[in-house]
Amino acid sequence: MKTELMSANYAAARAVMSARVEVVPAYPITPATTIPEQIALLNETGQWPGQFIRVESEHSAMFACIGASSTGARTFTATSSNGLLLMDEGLHWATAARLPIVLANINRSISPSWNIHVTHDDSMSKATSGWIQFYVSSVDEFYHTIIQAFKLAEDERVLMPVMVNADGFVLSHTLSTYDYLEPEEVDKFLPPYKPPHWVMDPENPVSHGNIVFPEHYQEFRYAMHEGTHNAMKVYEEVEREYKKLFGKYFGGPIDCYKCDDAEVVFTSQGSVAAEAKDAIDELREEGYKVGNARMRMIRPFPVDRIRELGSRVKGFASLDRSVSYGYGGPVANDIRATMYNTKHRPIIKSYIGGLGGRDMTVPDIKEVILDTVKAVETGETGPEETWHDLR
Amino acid sequence: MVNEVNIDPKSRADMPTTSYSKPVIGATGKTGSWRTFTPKIDYDECSRCRTCWLHCPEAVITLDEDGTPHIDLDYCKGCGCCAEVCPKKCIAMIRVGFDEEESA
Amino acid sequence: MVATKDMPLKEYVLKGNAACAGCQDMVALRHAHKALEGNVIQVVPACCTSVVQGLWPKSGLGIPVLNTAFPAAAATASGVRAALAAKGKDDTTVMVWAGDGGTFDIGIQALSGAFERRTDFLYVCYNNQVYSNTGTQRSGGTPLHAKTTTTWLGKKEPEKLLDFIVAMHEPVYQATANTAYPRDLYDKFLKAKEIRGPKFIHIFLPCPQAWNYPVEKGVELGKLAVETGYWIQWERVGTEFTLGRQSKRFQDPEKRKPIEEFLKMQGRFSHLFRPERQDAKIQELQDYVQYRWDLLMKTLA
């Protein structure tokens, strides 16, 4: 393992090299653009020997991924925002075809109006598609989670694609030191992809994706659901092995900080979750029993971990950098749904903020947490959701 | 965990991870039942030119080494293209149920 | 041209599939695959060919088929080609088999992109001039005055001149073919298989459902399209143009049959003859024949 100073996007390009990805179709979109740029350079200079396809749209990027993965190649792409939305048909195609494609999504606001900064609306809108979804908080975590994602996606109990999300600019364009692995080191963890069920091969002709009538369609959908569901357990094994081999561990589906004796925990996705550690430290110093639950994985949803946490705390302060328009914060909603079928009923407050790249600083996070602390003390649940810093 | 495709699945356990299919003759059953007209080759007239084989959309015509055509009536949909293209006009299209030999 | 007796007997179109009786797409598939001899991965966007395969878990085509989304055939094929390249399996033909809707309309961006990238694949558009799979709606390939279920009184615009759009992408091989001439079609696939780079074959095929003609008349109609000069058989290797032998004599307008003979066999043009004869509209279609010949001979020949 070596260390270098890079942005998350350059680290993602290195992950492609480290994981011996065979095919990358990609289309430029800010702020993901420097990923395909760097992959092109690695390819042209012979450092990455795979096939780079300079497609003419994101829709074509995802379908070129589908063509390549269907033919048995390890496949990766990267995009953002409107690009992810243009891929939509392909995103759903990839899950039903059970293709272990890994996609780095650099979270960016959806247009209009044009805004290239972070909002999680792009990836959150795909929460029902079957894609396994991670949110990361550092360059190091981004790099290693991409490598782990291939192992997870290609596991025959899973066989579902994985989206690794990183905040636009805050991570994509900000330099940070991170530890990387040579392909020879990763080989120990990630063997070459062997499609376990079907592949396009003239020696063994099969047809993929022709008509399925109602008699069987539902069963295939159940199998997809099972695949994504299994990812929770399989990821535990993946992380254990990764830690053993490389000493890297990012905290499972929910990375908890000072949650053991906490009365209120703050949940969030992406880079805010890293910032939140400082807020927790300051509040602890001020005497509040608070913790930080960084949501790394939102699909499959970590139901058991949330229920375990929910059985010990009095309140969740759940921040979404995204909106389910007309019904609050998407992850807050999931946490509420998860807790409903238990005997524990902590107060679960939904906060929406940091949209369009607006800063969520330590004082902002503290304000959110203290609002929930107050709700716990008074027993007043307050509004359905609270838009933080709404002018 | 990962099932092979089973041509006749009885339950979820018999189904593969995803919906891939294997090539088989009769993917849509015995399509000969679709016919309203049945081709009948007059072998005395047939010149073994293979034109019927060339134009058959269904691949239901097989050829002997000398080019003698045989139509698989289990699958022939009765489109009549063979009769149309036959240079000898020696393929008759006979309404199903009207063939004297068939009913005899 | 190949003699019929020299064509391979092995069938890759399997009998008992779900195609309509008399479907000319199956004639095209039969002879294309006889030429490719099974060493192919076929990408199929939404179109009739995605249906004729039949129902899961069975397939009526004895070749690997990757069904894909309507706009995505050429992009999917790009991925297949890249995966084969990554695995060093370069001798397999990657072939798109798409209808006119999936090519002229919704798939044209991906087609353009894949050709510009010089993808080594063969794109086949089998053109029955209508969205037949969804129930015969007009496409960019539907000719002027043809009735469809979205142009009940006849289409008001002529078809897109797709061959010219493709030609401007400078494919290494480009040809038109017609299911009425299966041996010629076979030869063209044989030739395409040996050339590396982006290739395009545009196949004219009558559809008994959409065109509303007796199912057995597919070959006759295909031939009439050539004999009236409406469909031109040609081939281009790089920039070397050859007028097909079936079309050669019809370069002379005097030798052509009147377009009317092609039109009046089809229900989709019946309104041009009944209840009253629409001379002006028939003449428009007649004039369009010469317009296309002129354009072809001036630009691509």
Inter-chain residue contact B19 with A196, CB threshold 8 Å: no
Whether residue A71 is predicted with pLDDT greater than 70 in this model: the reply is yes
First to last CA, chain A: 47
Strand order in the sheet with A102-107: A76-79, A102-107, A162-167, A132-135, A297-299
Average pLDDT (C241-251) is 98
Please, what is the average pLDDT of chain C? 97
| ipTM rounded to 2 decimals | 0.97
Q: At residue C155, what are phi and psi to the nearest 5 degrees?
A: -70, 140
A117 touches chain B (CB under 8 A): no
Give the minimum alpha-carbon distance from A148 to chain B in angstroms, rounded to a whole number. 21
Question: A257: helix, coil or strand?
Answer: strand
Neighbours of chain C (3+ CB pairs under 8 A): A, B
Q: Would the CB atoms of A68 and C55 count as touching at under 8 Å?
A: no
Structure tokens at C63: 């070749």
Asked if the model's pLDDT at residue C159 lies above 90, the reply is yes
pLDDT of residue B99: 67
- Output the pLDDT for position B104: 43
Quote the CA–CA distance of A275 and A360 in Å, as a whole number: 8
**CA C132/CA C124 separation, integer angstroms:** 17
Give me A55's structure tokens. 């497609």
Tell me what the pLDDT averaged over chain A comes to. Answer: 97
C60/B30 touch (CB, cutoff 8 Å), yes or no: no
- Which range is least confidently modeled, A376-385, B94-103, C116-125, C191-200? B94-103
Look at B19 and C27 and tell me if their CB atoms are within 8 Å: no
Q: Residue B19 is nearest to which of C13, C26, C56, comparing CB atoms? A: C56
* Residue A223 to residue B15, Cβ atoms within 8 A: yes
For residue A212, which residues of chain B lie inside 8 Å, CB to CB?
Answer: 19
Best mutation target among C17, C53, C78 (most A Cβ atoms within 10 Å) is: C78
Q: Do B5 and C21 touch (CB under 8 A)?
A: no
Q: Express each pLDDT in A223-241 by its tens digit.
A: 999 999 999 999 999 999 9
How many contacts does A have with B, using Cβ atoms within 8 A?
58
Which of A200, A211, A221 would best serve as a mutation to test chain C binding (most C beta carbons within 10 A)? A200
CA distance B56 to B39: 12
Q: Give B 60-79 residues with CB within 8 A of chain C.
A: 60, 62-63, 67, 72, 74-75, 77-79
CA B101, CA B104: separation in Å to the nearest integer? Answer: 5
| Mean local confidence (pLDDT), A143-158 | 98
- Rounded Cα gap, residues A164 and C270, in angstroms: 58
pLDDT at B10: 85
- Nearest chain A Cα distance for residue C37, angstroms: 10
Cα A204 to chain centroid, rounded = 36
- The token pair that represents B54 in the structure block: 């060339």
Report the pLDDT value the prediction gives residue B2, as an integer from 0 to 100: 46
Q: In DSSP terms, which residues pair with A104 in a beta bridge? A: A78, A164
The topology under which CATH files domain C4-299 is Rossmann fold (3.40.50)
Whether residue C77 is predicted with pLDDT greater than 70 in this model: the reply is yes
C5 contacts B81? CB cut-off 8 A: no
C10/chain B closest Cα distance in angstroms: 10
If contacts are CB pairs under 8 Å, which of residues 210-229 in chain A contact chain B?
210, 212, 216, 219-220, 222-223, 227
Give me the pLDDT at residue B1, please: 38
Q: Any idea which of A192-201, A248-257, C199-208 has the lowest mean pLDDT?
A: A192-201
- Tokens (6 digits) for C23: 């479907």
Cβ–Cβ contact B6 with A under 8 A:
no
Q: Does the distance separating the beta carbons of A54 and C63 come in below 8 Å?
A: no
For testing the chain C interface, which of A52, A210, A215, A217 should be mutated: the one with the most C CBs within 10 Å?
A210
Amino acid at A28: P
Q: Mutation test of the interface with chain A: which of B18, B21, B25, choosing the one with the most A Cβ atoms within 10 A?
A: B18
Which chain B residue lies closest to C63 (C-alpha atoms)? B23
> Could you give the CA distance from residue B22 to residue B19 in angstroms, rounded to a whole number?
10
Helix boundaries (H) for chain A = 8-18, 34-44, 58-70, 81-86, 88-96, 121-124, 139-154, 183-187, 214-246, 272-285, 303-310, 330-340, 362-378
Do residues C145 and C269 make contact, with C-beta atoms less than 8 angstroms apart? yes
Least Cα distance to C102 among C149, C49, C29 occurs for C49
Q: Give mean pLDDT, residues A361-375.
A: 98
Q: Do A156 and B1 touch (CB under 8 A)?
A: yes
Name the residue facing B18 among A157, A205, A220 (closest C-beta).
A220
Closest CA–CA distance from residue B36 to any residue of chain C (Å): 11
pLDDT at position B4 over 80? no
Higher pLDDT, A339 or C90: A339
What value does the mean pLDDT take over residues C32-45?
A: 98
* Binary contact (B6, C57; C-beta < 8 A): yes
* Beta bridge pairs of residue A347: A315
Q: CA-nearest residue of chain A to B20?
A: A208
Q: Over range A29-47, report the average pLDDT.
A: 98
- Angstrom distance (rounded) from CA C19 to CA C26: 7
Backbone torsions φ then ψ of C108, nearest 5 degrees: -70, -30
pLDDT over 80 at B102, yes or no: no
The per-residue pLDDT for A259 is 98
Confidence of residue A206 (pLDDT cuts 50, 70, 90): very high
| Closest alpha carbon within chain C to A21 | C86
The Cα of C191 is separated from the nearest Cα of chain B by a number of Å equal to 19
3-class DSSP assignment, residue C72: helix
Closest Cβ opposite residue C14 in set B27, B67, B81: B27
Shortest CA gap B96–chain C (Å) = 15
Q: Please identify among residues 315-354 of chain A the ones whose CB lies closer than 8 Å to any CB of chain C.
A: none
Rounded to a whole number of angstroms, the distance from the CA of B68 to the nearest CA of chain C is 11
Residues of A in contact with B17 (CB under 8 A): 98, 156, 159, 196-197, 223, 227
Contacts of C71 in chain A (CB under 8 A): 59, 89
Do residues A27 and A56 touch, judged by C-beta distance below 8 A? yes
Contacts of A67 in chain C (CB under 8 A): 43, 66, 68, 75-83
Query: What proportion of chain A, given as a percentage, has pLDDT over 90?
Result: 99
Instruction: Give the number of A-C residue pairs with CB atoms closer than 8 Å.
Output: 166
| Domain residue limits, chain C | 4-299
pLDDT value of position B14:
87
A74-113 residues touching C, CB cutoff 8 A: 75, 89-90, 93
Q: Find chain A residues with C-beta within 8 A of C116's C-beta.
A: 56
Residue C223, pLDDT > 50, answer: yes
Q: How far is CA C33 from the centre of its chain?
A: 15
The CB density around residue A160, as the number of other CB atoms within 10 Å, is: 29
Nearest to C16 among B7, B29, B49 (CB): B29
Instruction: Give whole-number Cα distances, A91 to A62, A100, A370, in Å.
Output: 7, 11, 39
> pLDDT of A103-147, one tens digit each?
999 999 999 999 999 999 999 999 999 999 999 999 999 999 999
